[in-house]
Amino acid sequence: MNESTRAAEVPGPVSVNDLTLRVATVNGSGSQTANNTLLRALFHMGLPVSGKNLFPSNIAGLPTWFTIRVSGDGYVAPKRDVNVLVCLNPASAEDDVRSVPPGSLVVYEETLRCERYRDDVVLVAVPFQKLVKEVCEPVALRKLVVNMIYVGVLTELIGIEVAEVKQALDKAFAHKPKALGLNRDAVRAGIEWVRENVSRVSPFRVERMARDEDLILVDGNTAAAVGCVFAGVTVLAWYPITPSSSVAETVAHLGERYRRDPETGETTLAVVQAEDELAAVGMVIGAAWAGARSMTATSGPGISLMSEFVGLGYFAEIPTVIVNVQRTGPSTGFPTRTQQGDLLSAANLSHGDGRHPCLYPSDPHEAYEFAMAAFDLAEGLQTPVFVLSDLDLGMNLWMTKPFEYPEEPICRGKVLDAEGLAKMEDWGRYKDVDGDGVPYRTLPGGADGVGAYFTRGSGHDAYARYTEKGDDYIATMQRLALKLETAKSRVPEPVLDGPGTAVGLLAFGTSHHAVVEARDHLRDELGIETDYLRLRAFPFTDSVREWIEAHERVYVFEQNHDGQMRRMLTMEFPSLGARLHSVLHYDGLPPDARSVWEPIALDAVPSVKGGA
Amino acid sequence: MNESTRAAEVPGPVSVNDLTLRVATVNGSGSQTANNTLLRALFHMGLPVSGKNLFPSNIAGLPTWFTIRVSGDGYVAPKRDVNVLVCLNPASAEDDVRSVPPGSLVVYEETLRCERYRDDVVLVAVPFQKLVKEVCEPVALRKLVVNMIYVGVLTELIGIEVAEVKQALDKAFAHKPKALGLNRDAVRAGIEWVRENVSRVSPFRVERMARDEDLILVDGNTAAAVGCVFAGVTVLAWYPITPSSSVAETVAHLGERYRRDPETGETTLAVVQAEDELAAVGMVIGAAWAGARSMTATSGPGISLMSEFVGLGYFAEIPTVIVNVQRTGPSTGFPTRTQQGDLLSAANLSHGDGRHPCLYPSDPHEAYEFAMAAFDLAEGLQTPVFVLSDLDLGMNLWMTKPFEYPEEPICRGKVLDAEGLAKMEDWGRYKDVDGDGVPYRTLPGGADGVGAYFTRGSGHDAYARYTEKGDDYIATMQRLALKLETAKSRVPEPVLDGPGTAVGLLAFGTSHHAVVEARDHLRDELGIETDYLRLRAFPFTDSVREWIEAHERVYVFEQNHDGQMRRMLTMEFPSLGARLHSVLHYDGLPPDARSVWEPIALDAVPSVKGGA
Amino acid sequence: MAGPKTNRIGLPVTDYRGVSSTLCKGCGHDVISNTLTTALYEMGVEPWRVAKMSGIGCSSKTPAYFLGPAWGFNSVHGRMPSVATGALLANRTLIGLGVSGDGDTASIGIGQFVHMVRRNVPFLYVVENNGVYGLTKGQFSATADEGSRLKDGTVNDFAPIDICTLALELGATFVARAFSADRKQLIEILKAAIAHEGFAVIDVMSPCVTFNNHVGSTRSYDYGRNHEGPIHEFGFVPAWDHPEVGGGGEDTFDVPMPDGGTIRVQRVGRAHDPRDKGAALRLLHEDAESPEYLTGVFYVRAGKPPLPQFLKMVEEPLATLPEARVRPTRETLAEINESYR
Amino acid sequence: MAGPKTNRIGLPVTDYRGVSSTLCKGCGHDVISNTLTTALYEMGVEPWRVAKMSGIGCSSKTPAYFLGPAWGFNSVHGRMPSVATGALLANRTLIGLGVSGDGDTASIGIGQFVHMVRRNVPFLYVVENNGVYGLTKGQFSATADEGSRLKDGTVNDFAPIDICTLALELGATFVARAFSADRKQLIEILKAAIAHEGFAVIDVMSPCVTFNNHVGSTRSYDYGRNHEGPIHEFGFVPAWDHPEVGGGGEDTFDVPMPDGGTIRVQRVGRAHDPRDKGAALRLLHEDAESPEYLTGVFYVRAGKPPLPQFLKMVEEPLATLPEARVRPTRETLAEINESYR
Ligand SMILES: Cc1ncc(C[n+]2csc(CCOP(=O)(O)OP(=O)(O)O)c2C)c(N)n1
Ligand SMILES: Cc1ncc(C[n+]2csc(CCOP(=O)(O)OP(=O)(O)O)c2C)c(N)n1
Ligand code: SF4
Ligand code: SF4
Ligand SMILES: [Mg+2]
Ligand SMILES: [Mg+2]
C-alpha cells in the first residue's frame, strides 16, 4: 500500500458483485459520458446494474451525484448505503465522505484532502488534476476529460473489464475520433496510476456474470418515444419541461430519421414546439379531431394547464395521448426530482364529471409498450389517455428487454370511411351502436361530402346536434361512464402473485423495483410472506378487485405524500378501503427496498406475525 | 264562465297555497321583471315561495321558463308537476300545455289556440296582444309590458293580493316613474280582463299566511357578494362566465356604492376584469401575497384554468378566496344549467399532492356567511379556499334569513407587523410555531426594512430559502397536511340530525332542499324514518365520521353523475366506504324531492323495511 | 324543368347554409354568416373540405349557422388557434376557416392568436368584433375603444388591441378590416381571403344589437355607418373568370392571388395598394389617432410558406396515411435496439 | 473610522446584493443582476419597498441574486404579469420590478404581457432575452430570430416577436432595449426606468453562454458586440442632482422624468428623441429589416395614469387598511337587507 491509500480496519472480506458506486461531481462538468461508460461496461460484463442521476434544477455549477448499483441478485432499486465513492466536487466532498459506511472505498481528488474526514474507510487519493494535464493538452477540454480518469481508476480498482470500457468508449465517441483518443488516454492514465500507486485490493469488486436474457440499456423517455413513433404518431405538439422534454425531443429526432423520406425530404410526422401547454394540448386535440394520431408530453405544471382541454377531449370524445413524466410537486416543486404525484390529477383532470384512462409503466420496455398501446386505447375508446411515467423511469438508464416489434397492426378504432358510413344505418356521431359506449366517428375532410358533423364541448345529442335537454345529457354521461367500463377490458391487466398469504403488497410504475427487493427481504430476513400486485392501469380491472378482496391487509406503496393510489383504489372499491394501507416514499428520490419493508415490518400485524 | 275559459271535468276541490306556477316565454323578452313581481307579491303574502329560472345558453329568442312554487308546508325544492301554466311562447306552447297534469290551470295568449291540445285542464285564453295595445302606446315597449298583463291575470285568477303586487311594482320601478305607470296599467288591465271575462274559480289559489320569521328574497350570487364586501375584500379580479358573473359584478357594484369615499372618490376595493381566468387567479394570488384580502369568482372552465395557480397558492401558502358557481360540466357543458360537479376538482385542484378547503352553502344566507368566513379561513390557514355554490343557488331568488352583521372583527390570521416580528425569536416564514401547521407571515412593503422573504413555488425550507433537500420537502408536505387537520376545527360543522335510525341521508349545498321534503315524504307516506346530515365543508370534521359510523346505510345525495361527494367521503373515511350509497340527480335542473325519495324507497333495504 | 341554381361545382346555395341562427335578431354576426355563405358559394368552395373552427361566444356559435355540410369544431374559449393549428397539420388538404369574437381573440385568446400568426397556419381567421362579450351579457372586451361606453354608462379606460396592427407586426400576409353592414365589401374581402394561401385575418366590426349598439358605443351600426372609411374600392376576380392583367381598365390596378384570382383595386380615393406594408402600417397608425374606421385589405403578400410547407410535410393528409407510412419497419426497430445494447 | 460607503439613503451596496447566483459562469443574466444592484443602489431605492417578481426560467431565478432585503416572488411560468398586477393593487406603495425571460414573456407569457401593458401597471419589466429557453436546455423561444441556429444546427423558421414594437403598439410609455454586455448604457436605462411612473419595459439581450453563444446565434456576445447600434447616447440625471434644463450644454437635450430626474441625450449620431413615438416605430420597423441591434430608450412619455390611479384607489396600501375602512357599517347591511325585503 503506498501513500495514496490509507485503510482503517476494513471489516469483512471482499464483496463481489454487490456494490453501490457514487460519483460526486458538479453539473455541467460533462461527467455524464464517463458515468455512462462505467454503467455500460458493467452492463456488458453481464452484471445487473442500475444508474441514477441526481441533479439540481440548474444548468451548471451545482453538486450532482451519479449512483450505480451493481447487484448480483438483480435488484435495480437504489440502496441507501454507498460503498464506492468518487469525490470530485469540493462543495460536497466533506458531506459525501462522511455519508458512506465504514469500510467503503473512497476515491478522491488528492487536493480535497478527504483523509481529514474519515479513517474508517479505504481512501484512495488520486491526483486527477495532475493526471489530466499529462493526457490532455487542450486546456479547455480538461474539465471534460478528467472524468474519464476516474473511469480508469475505478476500472482497475474494482475490476471492470478493460475491454468493455473500451467498447463503451467506442460507442460513446463513434463519430468523434479525436475525442475518442483523448478519452481513451485518460482511462488508460487512470488505470496505470492505480497499477503504479495502489496495491491494496478494493473491498468491493465486480466479476463477469452470465446473462441469459437479451437486454438493452435505455432510459424511459427514449423508450416511450420509440413506442410513440412505432405507434404511428403523426402530430406531436409539446412545450419543454423537465423531465419530459426528451420524450418529445426523441420523437422529433426519430421522426427526422425514420419518418422523413430521404428522397423527397417530406415527413409523415408533424412536430410543433407550442408556446405553452395549453396550446400544445389544444393542437393535439385539434389534430386528433381531424384524424391524426396525436400526442403531447409534459410534466406536472403542464398537466394543470391542460386541464380545460382534457375535459373537452373527454366530453367531445377526442382521442389523444398525453405522456406525463411526473416530477415532485405541487407547483414548481422539485423539477429534477421524481414522484408519483399526479395520479389523482391525471385520472380526474378537468372540472365536472369524468375520468381518464391512465397507464403506469414500470420500466423502459413497458414505457415503450404502453406508449404504443396508449394510441390504440385512445382511438379505441375515443378519449384522451395518459401515460404516467416519472423522472426516475424517464431520465435514468435501465436494463430492459429489447423493444418488440408490434405483432398487431395499428388499430384506429371505430373510424368510418365513406363505405363504412354507407353501410351504417342512421349513423350518429355519438350513438352507441355496439353497447360498449364507443360510437363511430368519421374523419374531417372526407372528400365525398358525407359524414360531416359538428363537434362541441357544450351539450350534444347522439347525432352531434346541440342540445340543452336533460335526457340527452344523462344519456351522454352514462355512455361516457360505460366507455370507462369498456376500458377495463382493454387496459393492461395487473401482474399479480397470490393470493397465497393474507398480506398483499400493491405498487405500480417505478415503485415496483423497491418492492421486488423488499419482498425478498421480508421473506428471507423477517419471515414475512407477501403477495404482490403490480398495477398497470386505471381504470382498475376486476382482477384488481378480486385480488384485494382475497387479502386482509394490502399495503399500497407509492411515491407521494397523500397516498393518491390508495385513494383512487378506495374510490373505485369503496367496500375495500379498510384493507388498504399506505406505505409512502416521497423525498423526491427513487425509493429503496427499506422504504417498503421497514414500515411493513414495524407494523405489528397479528396475522403476519402468526404466519412468520 | 265565458268563452275564454273552457274547463274539463276538473278533479278535486280548490287547492290553497300549494301550487307550482310556470311562465313559458322567450328569453330576452323582458319577462323577468314580471316574474319577480309575482314572486315578490307572493312572498309578501307570507307564503313560502321559490322561483327557478330555466333559460337557454343564448341571449334572446329561445324558450325560457320561470317556475314559482308556493308551498304552505314551506318546501322550496321544485316540484315536477306544474299546475298553473302561462303560455306565451309559440315555439314551446304545445309541449308546455301537454306537459301539465289534468286539472291544471292554463293561461295562454289566445292566438296560440292551446285549446287544441287539451280538454282536461282549465283553459283561459287571454288576448294579451290586444290588451297590451290598449294600455301601452309606444310600440317598442309592448314586448316588455305585455308581461305585466299576465301578472294581472294571475293575480286575479289565483288570488294574489293586489296591494302586494303594487308594492312589488313600486319597488321594481322605484327610479323609473314612467315605466311604473305603464306596468301598473298593464297589471290592472290583466286583472280587469279576468274580472270581466272569467267567472270560474281557479282550482289553485293562494291566501295570506302568517310568517314568524323575518325573511328576505335574494339570489345566492348577490348574497355571496355581500358577504365578500363585508369580509373586507380589497382586490377582486375576475373574468366573466355564466353563472358566476353576477358575484363579481355585484361585488364591484357594492364597492362603488359602499367602498368609494363619496368625497374623495377613492375606493378601498380594486376591481379588475382580467383577460382570462389564469390572469384573474394570478392577480388574486399576487394581491394576497402582498397582503390584500383577495377573491375571484368563476365557474367550471375557469376552475380548470386556475389549476396551476391554485397549486402555487397551496405550496407557497397564499390565502385567497375562489367562489365557484357550479354549472353543468364537463367542458362547456350546459352553461345555464346547475350541477354540483366540481367537488373533486376543487378539493384536489392542481397537479401533485394537496387538498383545498371547500365550503358548501345551501341557501343565500349561508352563501353570505360562508363567503365572509372563507376570507378568515383562507387567511387563518394561509391557503386558497373555495366557496362552492351553484347556478341554482347563485342565480335564483330564495327566501332566506336576513344577513347578520358579523359580530367578530375581521381576522387576518398570523400576520406579523414590525412589532410582532421583533417579538418572534428566529422567525421563519414557513416555520410551524404553534403546532397547527400554520406559520407566521409578514406583508410585503413593511416600511421598516425587516421581515422580507422570498416566495416561490419551488422547494423552500422553513426560512423560505431555496432547497432541493428531501428532508425539507417532507417537513413541508407534512406541515401542509397538518394545516388541513387544523382546518377541520375551523370550517363550519355539519348540521345533523340523529343518530336515531339506521338509515342516514347525507347532502349538501342546494341538494338540501329536496332532501327536506323527501324525508317528510319518506316518513309520512312510506313510513321510512331517516337521519340527516347536511355537510357544510371539506375537510370533513370528526362529527361527519362519527355520524356515518352510527349509520348502517348512508345515502349520499348529490347533483352529478360520478357521485363525487361519495367518493370524497370514501377517500377520507376509507373504512366507511361500504356504507355510502349514491343517490344522484344530474339532468342540469334543481332536484325535486322525488329524485331523493324514489331511489331510496325502491332500494329494498331490509333494516328499513323492518323499521317501517 | 330547371333545377335549383348552382355554383361552379354544381352545388345549390342551400349547401352553404347551416342550421338556423339562435342569435339576437339584427346581430352583426348573422350578417357575417350570411355573407360567408354567399362568398363560399360564389367561390365554389367544396364544403366537405372545410374545417369550421371557433372558440366560445355568440360569434363562436356561428359556424353552425353556415356551410352545414362542413366539419365544425366549437372548441373552448380563446383557444381556437391551437385547435385549428393541430387540425390543419393532421390534414393539410382541409380548408381552415375560423370565426372568433373579440373577447375570444383579444382578451383570453391573444396569446394563441399571436403565435398562430407567427406560424403562418393556413387559415382564414374572421374576428366578429363587437367590443363586448355578447354571450356573457355585455362586458367590455380588449378591443373596446378607450372612452367608449356601455349601456349602463361604464366607461372603458384601457386602450384597445388592434387586431390588424398586431397581425401585421407579427408577419401576417393577409390583413383586412370590414364592417358587417357593408356586405358588398365584405364579400370581396372574404373571397380574396379564401384565395389567399397562409394565414389571413379579417377584423369585422359586427355590432351587438343587445349590448353595444347604443349612443356612446364605437361598435354600433350607426357609429360604423358614420365612420367607415374604405381605404380603397376593389373587387375580387376569381381565377375561373380569367382575370387578365389590366383587365379592369386604366382606372384599376391588379394584385394577383396565388390561386389565379386577382384583387382589382379602383384608382379612386385612397386606393391603398395592399402590397405596401409600410403604407398599411402608416394607415393603421393614423387610424389609431382618428375616429375613422378604416376598412379594406391592408396587406396581402403571396409566397410565404404556410406551416405544413415549413415543416416539409407530405402532401397527403397525415390523418389517413396507411400503416406502412407511419410505422417504421422491423429492421428499424432492430437498429434502434442495437444502438442501446 | 469611516464606515462602509453608502448611498443617499444611507445603505451600503451590500444591501442591494442577493444570495450568490447559481447560473452558469458568464451568463448574461448575472451581468444584469449586477447592473440592477448598481442602478438600485445609486438611485437610492428603498429595498424593503421593492417587490421583485418573476416567472420561471434561469432569468426568473435572478430576483434572488440582487436586493436581498426586498420581497421576492418567483411565481409560475409566463404569468408574472398577473401576479405583479395583483401585488401592485394590494399595495400601490410597492415598487414593482420584474425579471422575466424571453420564453417566459414571449412564448407562454405573451398574453399576460400584452394585457399588462394595456393596463399600464406601474412596473419595471426587464426581459432577459437570450432567444432560447435556458433552463430547459436551449430550445428556441418566440424571440429567436428567423434563420438563427441552435448549437446542433437546428434553424429557427419563425419570425421573432419584438417585445419593444409590441409594447409600443400597445401603448407602453417607457420602452427600451439594451445589451447586457453594455453595462454603462444599461445602468442609465435602468435608472431612467426606475424614475418612470407606469409600465416600463426593457428588452435586454442577455447571452446564454451554455446554449446560445455560438457562431450562427444572433444572441451571442459576439453578435451583440458586432451589431449593437445605440440610437442615442444618454445619461440619467437623478432628481437630487438637480438637473437644470439645458444643464448638459448645447450638445444635449433633456427629457424630464416625473420624479424630477432627467434623461439627457447627447446630440450625436442618431440622437433619437425618445418622446417621438412615430420615430420610435420607424426605427423599430427599420431595425426589423436590418441586422443591426438597436439599443437605447425608444419611447418615454409621462402623465399616463398607472392602474391604481385609473381605478381611483386610495393612496394607502389596501393590504393594511383597518377594518373600519374595508367593512361597511351595520347600517349599510341593514339597508342592503331592506332592499331585499
Ligand atoms: C374559460 C372560459 N371562460 C369564460 C367563459 C365565458 N364566456 C363565454 S363567451 C365569453 C366572451 C365572448 O365574447 P366574444 O368572444 O367577444 O364573443 P361575442 O359573444 O361578443 O360574439 C365568455 C367570457 C367560457 N366559456 N370559458
Ligand atoms: C407551465 C410550465 N411549463 C414549462 C416549464 C418548464 N420551463 C421552465 S423555464 C422554461 C423556459 C425558460 O425560458 P426563458 O424564459 O427564456 O428563460 P431563460 O432560462 O432562457 O432565462 C420552461 C419551458 C415550467 N416551469 N412551467
Ligand atoms: S348578445 Fe350581442 S353578440 Fe350575442 S347574439 Fe345578441 S346581438 Fe349578437
Ligand atoms: S443555461 Fe444559459 S441562461 Fe441559463 S444560466 Fe446558463 S447561460 Fe444563463
Ligand atoms: Mg364580442
Ligand atoms: Mg431565454
- Chain D residues close to A240, C-beta within 8 Å: 133, 136-137, 139
CA-to-CA dists, residue A508 to A121, A366, C18, angstroms: 38, 12, 50
Q: Is the distance from CB of B44 to CB of B107 less than 8 angstroms?
A: no
Q: Which atom of ligand 4 is nearest to the CA of D26?
A: 7
- The residue among A201, A180, A538 whose CA lies nearest residue A348 is A538
Query: H/E element holding A432?
Result: none
* Average of per-residue pLDDT values in chain C: 95
A272 exposed, middle or buried (CB, 10 Å; 0-12, 13-18, 19+)? buried
Q: Do B350 and A304 touch (CB under 8 A)?
A: yes
**pLDDT tens by residue, A213-225:** 899 999 999 999 9
| ipTM for the predicted complex | 0.97
Alpha helices in A468-559, H assignment, sequence order: 470-488, 511-526, 542-549
Query: Is residue D254 over pLDDT 60?
Result: yes
Please state, in angstroms and rounded to a whole number, the distance separating the CA atoms of residues B311 and B308. 5
**pLDDT tens by residue, C96-114:** 999 999 999 999 999 999 9
Is the Cβ of A468 closer than 8 Å to some Cβ of chain B? yes
Q: Which atom of ligand 3 is nearest to the CA of C212?
A: 2
Q: Which chain A residues in 187-226 lie under 8 Å from chain C, judged by CB atoms?
A: 216-218, 222, 226
Residue C281 region by backbone torsions, left for phi larger than 0, else alpha for psi between -120 and 50, else beta: alpha
Distance D127 CA to ligand 2 centre (A): 13
**pLDDT tens by residue, D95-124:** 999 999 999 999 999 999 999 999 999 999
Q: Which candidate from B334, B471, B580 shows the least CB-CB separation from A473? A: B334
Q: Which domain holds residue B114?
A: 3-205
* Domains contained in chain B, number: 4
Is the Cβ of A282 closer than 8 Å to some Cβ of chain D? no
Report yes or no on A409 lying in a domain.
Answer: no
Of all protein residues, whose CA lies closest to atom 8 belonging to ligand 3?
C27
Please state, in angstroms and rounded to a whole number, the distance separating the CA atoms of residues A381 and A358. 13
Neighbouring C-beta atoms of residue B12, cutoff 10 Å:
7
Q: Which candidate from D109, D119, D159 shows the least CB-CB separation from C170? A: D159
Query: Is residue A611 over pLDDT 50?
Result: no
Q: Which atom of ligand 3 is nearest to the CA of C130?
A: 3
Neighbouring C-beta atoms of residue B115, cutoff 10 Å:
15
What pLDDT does A603 receive? 87
Q: Which chain B residues in 310-349 lie under 8 Å from chain D, judged by CB atoms?
A: 312
Among chain D residues, the shortest Cα distance to C142 is held by D115
Q: Which chain A residues in 286-305 lie under 8 Å from chain B, judged by CB atoms?
A: 300-301, 303-305
- Chain A residues close to D58, C-beta within 8 Å: 58-59
Residue B378, SS3 per DSSP? helix
Query: Is residue A605 over pLDDT 80?
Result: no
- The reply to whether ligand 1 has any atom less than 6 angstroms from the CB of B301 is yes
Question: Chain D residues within 8 A (CB-CB) of chain A?
Answer: 22-25, 56, 58, 61, 76-78, 107-108, 110, 133-137, 139-140, 142, 210
Query: In terms of residues, how long is chain A?
Result: 612
**pLDDT tens by residue, C187-207:** 999 999 999 999 999 999 999
Please state, in angstroms and rounded to a whole number, the distance separating the CA atoms of residues A136 and A134. 6
What pLDDT does B393 receive? 98
Distance C104 CA to ligand 3 centre (A): 14
Where is the domain boundary, B450, B466, B488? B488
Q: Is the distance from CB of B150 to CB of B37 less than 8 angstroms?
A: no
> Which of C20, C130, C206 is the best mutation target for the ligand 3 pocket, counting ligand atoms within 8 Å of the beta carbon and taking the most?
C130
Rounded mean pLDDT, D206-224:
95
Q: Tell which of D154, D158, D164, D304 to mutate to test the C interface (max C CBs under 10 Å).
A: D158
Q: Delimit the domains of chain D by residue range.
A: 13-236+268-310
Please state, in angstroms and rounded to a whole number, the distance separating the CA atoms of residues B241 and B302. 8
Distance C130 CA to ligand 4 centre (A): 45
- The residue among A273, A316, A92, A506 whose CA lies nearest residue B333 is A316
Is there a single domain that holds both residue B250 and residue B384?
yes
- Chain C residues close to A455, C-beta within 8 Å: 71-74
What pLDDT does C250 receive? 86
Q: Which residues pair with D74 in a beta bridge?
A: B456, D54
What pLDDT does C291 receive? 83
Is there a single domain that holds both residue A473 and residue A550?
no
Q: Is the distance from CB of B360 to CB of B347 less than 8 angstroms?
A: no
Query: Is residue A9 over pLDDT 80?
Result: no
Residue entry with cell 370507462: A484
Please state, in angstroms and rounded to a whole number, the distance separating the CA atoms of residues C186 and C206. 11
Alpha helices in D152-272, H assignment, sequence order: 163-169, 183-195, 221-227
Banded model confidence at residue A12, pLDDT cuts 50, 70, 90 = low
What pLDDT does A99 receive? 96
* Average of per-residue pLDDT values in chain A: 94
Is there a single domain that holds both residue B45 and residue B154?
yes
Q: Which candidate from A267, A443, A449 shows the least CB-CB separation from C47? A: A449
> What ligand has the least distance to the C-alpha of C208?
3
- The reply to whether ligand 1 has any atom less than 6 angstroms from the CB of C207 is no
Report yes or no on B406 lying in a domain.
Answer: no
Is the Cβ of B275 closer than 8 Å to some Cβ of chain C? yes
Report yes or no on B120 lying in a domain.
Answer: yes
Banded model confidence at residue D248, pLDDT cuts 50, 70, 90 = confident
Q: Is the distance from CB of B602 to CB of B592 less than 8 angstroms?
A: no
Query: Is residue A606 over pLDDT 90?
Result: no
Task: Supply the CATH number for residue A122's domain.
Answer: 3.40.920.10
Is the Cβ of B456 closer than 8 Å to some Cβ of chain A? yes
Task: Supply the CATH number for residue B326's domain.
Answer: 3.40.50.970
Q: Which three cell numbers stand for residue D122?
A: 406601474
* Residue environment code for B201-234, b if the CB has 16+ CB neighbours within 10 A, otherwise e: ebbbbbeeeeeeeebbbbbbbbbbbbbbbbbbbb
Task: Supply the CATH number for residue B499's domain.
Answer: 3.40.50.920
Q: Which three cell numbers stand for residue B490?
A: 375551523
What pLDDT does B10 receive? 47
Query: Is residue A201 over pLDDT 90?
Result: no
Rounded mean pLDDT, A48-53:
96
- Chain B residues close to D63, C-beta within 8 Å: 454
- The reply to whether ligand 1 has any atom less than 6 angstroms from the CB of C219 is no
Ranges of chain B whose pLDDT falls below 70: 1-12, 447, 604-612
What pLDDT does B612 receive? 35
Q: Which candidate from D49, D75, D82 shows the least CB-CB separation from B279? A: D82
Q: Is the distance from CB of A298 to CB of A280 less than 8 angstroms?
A: yes
Is the Cβ of B411 closer than 8 Å to some Cβ of chain A? no
* Residue environment code for C63-92, b if the CB has 16+ CB neighbours within 10 A, otherwise e: bbbbbbbbbbbbbbbbbbbbbbbbbbbbbb
Q: Is the distance from CB of D71 to CB of D50 less than 8 angstroms?
A: yes
pTM score, whole prediction: 0.97
Which residues sit with their C-beta closer than 6 Å to ligand 3?
B 59; C 23-24, 27, 29, 58, 130, 134-135, 208-211
Cα distance from B273 to chain C (closest Cα, Å)?
9
What pLDDT does D224 receive? 95
- Chain B residues close to D319, C-beta within 8 Å: 234, 290-292, 443-445
Among chain D residues, the shortest Cα distance to B443 is held by D319
What pLDDT does D286 receive? 83
Report yes or no on A558 lying in a domain.
Answer: yes
Please state, in angstroms and rounded to a whole number, the distance separating the CA atoms of residues C190 and C184. 10
Please state, in angstroms and rounded to a whole number, the distance separating the CA atoms of residues B518 and B524. 10
Q: Which chain A residues in 246-265 lie under 8 Å from chain C, judged by CB atoms?
A: 254, 258-261, 264-265
Q: In the B/D pair of chains, how many CB contacts fall below 8 A? A: 226
User: D13-236+268-310 maps to which CATH number?
Assistant: 3.40.50.970
Where is the domain boundary, B473, B488, B503? B488
The subunits that touch chain A, with at least 3 C-beta pairs less than 8 Å apart, are B, C, D
Q: Which candidate from C22, C137, C210 shows the least CB-CB separation from B62? A: C22
Q: Which residues pair with B386 in a beta bridge?
A: B322, B358
Where is the domain boundary, B400, B427, B447? B400
What pLDDT does D290 receive? 83
Q: Is the distance from CB of D307 to CB of D85 less than 8 angstroms?
A: yes
Please state, in angstroms and rounded to a whole number, the distance separating the CA atoms of residues A268 and A260. 6
Among chain B residues, the shortest Cα distance to A459 is held by B333
Q: Do D161 and C118 touch (CB under 8 A)?
A: yes
Neighbouring C-beta atoms of residue C251, cutoff 10 Å:
10
What pLDDT does D2 receive? 64
Report yes or no on A406 lying in a domain.
Answer: no
Report which of residues B105 and A606 the model is more confident about.
B105
Task: Give the count of alpha carbons within 13 A of C319, CB side only.
Answer: 27
Q: In the B/C pair of chains, how many CB contacts fall below 8 A? A: 51
Q: Which residues, 6+ apart, have CB-to-CB distance to A559 below 8 Å? A: A338, A339, A340, A341, A390, A509, A510, A511, A584, A585, A586, A591
Neighbouring C-beta atoms of residue B170, cutoff 10 Å:
11
What pLDDT does B28 receive? 84
- Range with lowest mean pLDDT among A595-604, B232-241, D243-252: D243-252
Is there a single domain that holds both residue A462 and residue A596?
no
* β-pairing verdict for B358-359 and B537-538: antiparallel
Rounded mean pLDDT, A295-319:
98
Is there a single domain that holds both residue A233 and residue A187?
no
Query: Is residue D317 over pLDDT 70?
Result: yes
What pLDDT does A610 receive? 39
Q: Is the distance from CB of B259 to CB of D61 less than 8 angstroms?
A: no
Q: Tell which of C62, C139, C151, C156 to mutate to test the B interface (max B CBs under 10 Å).
A: C139
Q: Which three cell numbers stand for residue D289?
A: 429589416
**pLDDT tens by residue, A412-439:** 999 999 999 999 999 999 999 999 999 9
**pLDDT tens by residue, A354-407:** 999 999 999 999 999 999 999 999 999 999 999 999 999 999 999 999 999 999
Is there a single domain that holds both residue A436 and residue A375?
no
- Range with lowest mean pLDDT among A531-535, C268-272, C275-279, D230-234: C268-272
Q: Do D85 and B270 touch (CB under 8 A)?
A: no
